[in-house]
Amino acid sequence: MEEKLISVIIPTYNAEKTIERAICSVEDPAVEIVVVLDGEQPETERICRGLAQNDARIQILTQENQGCFVARRNGMLAAKGKYIMNLDSDDAYMPHTIEHVKALIAKYDEPDLIRFRYQKEPEGYDQYHYFADGKEEHYLTKVDFRTQIYPMVLNGYQLNAMWTNCIKKEYLEKIKLEDIGVRGYGEDLIVNLEIFSDIQNAVFSERICYRYITNLDSATKSRDISKLLKNLEECITIYTSLYNYLERWELDTKEYQKIIRYRIQKETGSLIRLIQKEVDKLQK
C-alpha cells in the first residue's frame, strides 16, 4: 500500500449543500481525501461519487449511522497517510492550508502534532492566539508540555477541536473505541486529551487555516430536550475525567483542581440554561 504524507478525513451526514465546498478546499493534488458517509444519504453520496470520477484523490466509505467519532476512526483506519487531518463536511480549509502544514512537517522534521487556528464564519470571530509573543509558530517538546500545554488544555484554551489538528496516524491508532466513553458531546476533547498525553512534540502555528462555518438559521430552532439531557450527562463525565489527567500530567494541585471545578460549573450551567429555555418554550 502506497503511503501518502497526509490524508484528510471528511465524515458526512446529509451534507449535500456543503460537501463539495469542503472537498474542493483541499487544494493539494497529492493529499488523499477519505469521505465517510455516516448513514444512508443518497444526495450526498451522489455528489461525492460524481466528484470522485474526476478526482483520484477521493476514497468513499459507507457505514451505518454511528456518529462522527466512528466515522473518523473508520476513515483513519482506511487512510494511507502518515498524518491525519479532520475536516467537517460543512466547513472548509483556508487557501494554502495543506501547503503550510507540509512546510511545517518538513521544517520541524516530522513532528507528532501540528495545530493551527480557525475562523468562525459568518460571525467573523478569529480564535485567539495560542501564545502572545508574536511568533508565527512554536515548537514544543514533552518537557515543555507540563508548563505550557497542559495548563492551556486545563484552562480550556480552545484545544478541544480535532479539525485544527494534523496528527501522526500512529497516535490515533492507539485510541480505541472503548477509551472514549462518550459519543457526540465532548468526544473531540477526550481524544485530544489522549493525544496530548501521548505525543512527544508539537508545533503550534498561529496561522488561521480552518473555516468553521455555522448555520445561523439552526440557532433559532428548538432543541431536543432528551439530547440536551444526554449532553449534560456526558459533560459531567468528560469534565470530571480531567481530574485523572492531573495525576497523569503531575499537576494535581489545589489550583488546578479549582480550575476543573470552575469548568464543570461553567459547562454544566450552560447546558442547564439551554434545557430550561426549551422547557419554558413547551410550557407556553
Give the Cα separation of 170 and 174 in Å (integer): 7
The chain-wide mean pLDDT, for the chain, equals 90
Residues 154-185 pLDDT 10s:
887 668 889 999 999 999 999 876 666 556 67
Q: Would the pLDDT of 205 be above 50? A: yes
- pLDDT average, residue stretch 86-115: 97
State yes or no: pLDDT of 113 exceeds 80.
yes
What residue spans define the domains of the chain? 4-218, 222-283
Q: Do residues 76 and 188 make contact, with C-beta atoms less than 8 angstroms apart?
A: no
Q: Determine the pLDDT at residue 216.
A: 57
- How does residue 280 score in pLDDT terms, banded at 50, 70 and 90? confident
Angstrom CA distances, 164 to 47, 146, 218, 244, stand at: 25, 21, 23, 24
**Weakest mean pLDDT among 16-25, 61-70, 149-158, 262-271:** 149-158
4-218, which class in CATH?
alpha beta
Using one digit for the tens of pLDDT, what is the confidence trace for 26-38?
A: 999 999 999 999 9
Q: What is the CB neighbour count within 10 angstroms for residue 47?
A: 20
